[in-house]
Amino acid sequence: MNNQSNYFISNFFKLESAGGVLLMISATMAILCANSSMQGYYDLLLSTPVEIRVGIFGIAKALLLWIND
């Protein structure tokens, strides 16, 4: 069973439409979370600080700003 699921997943990601399908699923899940009782957790997720640092240089922004960029 594990080989079949690995085979399916590897074939799925070889498709050109795989990125679009994942984007549509993610957008649908975000809409459902934002309009349900999980809205507070969704807002917390979007306000989570994310930082990228290389040496002394760093950029720190909320996750929502990284998504929008």
Domains of the chain, residue spans: 1-36, 45-69
Spatial distance between the Cα atoms of 69 and 15, rounded to a whole number of angstroms: 26
* Number of neighbouring beta carbons within 10 Å of residue 23: 10
Residue pLDDT, tens place only, 27-54: 999 999 999 999 999 999 999 999 999 9
C-alpha Rg value of the chain to the nearest Å? 17
Contact 64, 47 (CB under 8 A): yes
pLDDT band at 6 (very low <50, low <70, confident <90, very high): confident
Spatial distance between the Cα atoms of 50 and 64, rounded to a whole number of angstroms: 9
